[in-house]
Every structure is written in structure tokens, then in C-alpha cells.
A and B are shown apart, each in its own frame.
Chain A
Amino acid sequence: MTVADTASAVIANGGLTGAATFTVNSLTFGGAATFTPVLSAPGAAPAVATATLVNGSGLVTVNPSVLAATPTWAAGTYDLLSSGSAPTLGAFSLVAQSSILKLRTVRQSAVLALDGNALALVVTGGLPIWTGADDGVWATAPDLVTPFHQNWSVVNTPPRPCPPISLPAIM
């Protein structure tokens, strides 16, 4: 399958009510295109799987979203596009953080990375869960830095570690 060399050429999986993997034997991006993967949870099957991936000269814009029934992004690694060999990370460009729906940019960030032979989205940063451990008062702090009725906790699930890089031996 070939995706045309234009940003209006879109490849997507599932739809907002599903995040099933779209499998295609061969996928060619003719150039600039838009990839809109719909994702369910970190560690789930990739949005798109292909045996052979070919990138043209243009950047492919990645505009990810999480399932409509999933209220927030959980921290972790989401496989977007798996291939028979590692994709070229520089051939893809993530939309602005503020354009990623449901990403709480004050606390969370998302970047593209490689996860083995898959292009992946790595989300870091946790969202507050009530503890009531300070004084049980729910109050609005002016910022995240100065402790103020700290009755919340954040758990930041670290992304899966990257495989070690082999370095040449020093003689």
C-alpha cells in the first residue's frame, strides 16, 4: 500500500471506538503524509504493522490519539508502527504537544522513539491521584513547585528501557 505525498493523505487504524491493529504487507509513504494512530494502552499491539516499510523524502506527521473511552494518557510506551526492520525515526514528526488530545501538557510530555522495530510514542509524567495525606483539603496551588495542601500523588510509570548500545572496544 502506498500513502500519497501530501499531508492530506492519512493512514489510520481502528477509529476512535477501537484500536485494533491495521496490518498490511508493505507500506510505502510517498512523502509527506499524516499518520493518525488510535491507541489503547502502553504495551498494547501496534496501531499499524507491516513487514516492509519505505519512507519517501517528506516527513510523515504523526497525530496520535487515545481511545474515546480512555479518559487520559497513561505513562508508558505505545507502539505506533511496527515493521520488519527498525523505522527511520527522522522520517516522522510528532504534532505539537498541545495538539495531542487528552495529553495534560503541564504534567505530561510525549516524544517519538524506537521500540525495537517499532516507531513508538513515549508518554512520561503522571496525573494526580488523591491521597489526603497532608490535611485532606482540596485546594488549588499557584504552581507545581511550592508545596500547597499536597493531598495528591503522581506515579510516573517509566517507559520500557531502550536496548543497550554496543560500542567498539577500545584497544
Chain B
Amino acid sequence: MPTNFIAGDYVTFDDSTSNTNVNISVANVNPELVIFNNNSQSYSVGGSFGITGTAA
């Protein structure tokens, strides 16, 4: 089920998507926890903003 990201979320990046380009272009994002659980997919995280907070 599609959902938003909200501040403090625990987020996971895995192999279940075909879109592995992550664009942080609106503002900094502040997750509590970031998990990269990827084996076959290579992710690119970019944009004019970044990851802040405890997960940075």
C-alpha cells in the first residue's frame, strides 16, 4: 500500500523496486533509521538536500 514518508520514520531500501534513484530535492529528510537491505539493486541517493538527524 503506498504511503508517505514522515519525519522519524524507519525506512528500508531493498531489492523490490526498479526505481533506485532517490532524489532529495524538496528539503532535508530526517528519518530515525535507514536500512539498506539491497543485494541485487544499486541505489543512488542524491539531490540538493540530504539526510539529517540520528540516521545521517
Which A residues lie at the B interface, using CB under 8 A?
71-72, 104, 106-107, 127-134, 136-144, 146-156
Contact = CB atoms under 8 A, between A and B. Distances in A.
B19 A148 contact: no
Interface of B: 1-14, 16-27, 29-30, 32-33, 35, 45, 47
Which DSSP category, helix, strand, loop or mixed, fits chain A's interface? loop
A154 B5 contact: no
Contacts, number: 111
A98 to B, nearest CB: 13
Given A132-B20, A139-B29, A106 B6 contact: yes
A126 B48 CA distance: 29
Given A138-B24, A154-B1, A131 B29 contact: no
28 contacts: A71-B35, A72-B35, A104-B10, A104-B32, A127-B11, A129-B13, A129-B14, A129-B16, A130-B22, A131-B2, A132-B20, A133-B19, A134-B2, A136-B19, A136-B22, A137-B23, A137-B25, A138-B22, A138-B23, A140-B6, A140-B29, A141-B6, A144-B6, A148-B4, A149-B26, A151-B5, A152-B4, A153-B3
